[in-house]
Amino acid sequence: MNKKIRIAVQSKGRLAKASLKFLASLGLKFNVEKRTLLAKCDNPKVEIIFLRDDDIPKYVEQGFADFGIVGENVICEKKFQVKVVKKLNFGLCSLVIAVPVKSLIKVVEDLTGQRIATSYPNLLKSFLEQREISAAVFKLKGSVEVAPALNFGDAICDLTQSGKTLKENGLKVIDKVMDSQAVLIAAPLGLMDFDFLI
């Protein structure tokens, strides 16, 4: 095989360090200190590309990267056409629905007619549809947990790991949309000669 394998990982953020650790565990050696957008590996057939996590599935889907490491939540939200080839058991978190602790909303059925702020509108809408709940979904890019305190939403749907941020913002979980973890993804067109990664 002469083709170079290009692997896309998050440049900064929650998955960055663990992604490189996973690649190192496969025997790949690369220089992270002199890291630019692209890092060459000792193995000349492999190169690592550093991206925003949201862009990783696009690169893989379009074939600009052969593999990528990203949270399942990202690929499920935008329904990217990529294959999940391995669950990596890091970046564990859950996408949950939470409300202010004193809210009269106790179960998701109580969300009918209410406003929910989230960075994951597609996943939330499918969840609500499955439960036949009609609620207004507002998209926010970040800091979703502060929305109810600012009266921008009666509930939120966001990722949580330790639960600390929800607690600090006076919120409690009433239901779970999905569990998520980091996954190794590949372009949909086969995985020839890449066995060492799987």
- The answer for residues whose C-beta is within 8 angstroms of residue 120's C-beta and 6 or more apart is 73, 77, 95, 157, 158, 159, 177
Q: Tell me if 158 contacts ligand PRT by CB under 6 A.
A: yes
Tell me the closest approach of the beta carbon of residue 37 to Zn ion, in angstroms: 16
Stated length of the chain: 198
Write the DSSP symbol of residue 79. Answer: T
Residue 65 or 193: which CB sits closer to ligand PRT? 65
**Residue 62, C-beta contacts closer than 8 angstroms, at least 6 positions apart:** none
Q: Which of 24, 26, 45, 54 binds Zn ion (CB under 5 A)?
A: 54
**For the CA atoms of 144, 69, 90, 14, what is the dihedral angle to 10 degrees?**
-40
- Taking a C-beta distance cutoff of 8 angstroms, is the pair 66, 45 a contact? no
For residue 190, the minimal CB distance to ligand PRT (Å) is 26
Instruction: Point out which span in 31-39, 40-48, 131-139, 154-162 binds ligand PRT (CB under 6 A).
Output: 154-162
- Residue 126 has φ and ψ, to the nearest 5°, of -65, -40
Binding positions for ligand PRT, 95-134, rule CB under 6 A = none
What residue 94 binds from ligand PRT, Zn ion, none (CB within 5 to 8 A, per partner kind)? none
Q: Is 13 in the site for ligand PRT (CB under 6 A)?
A: yes
**Binding region for ligand PRT (CB under 6 A):** 10, 12-15, 52-54, 71, 73-74, 91, 93, 145, 158-165, 180
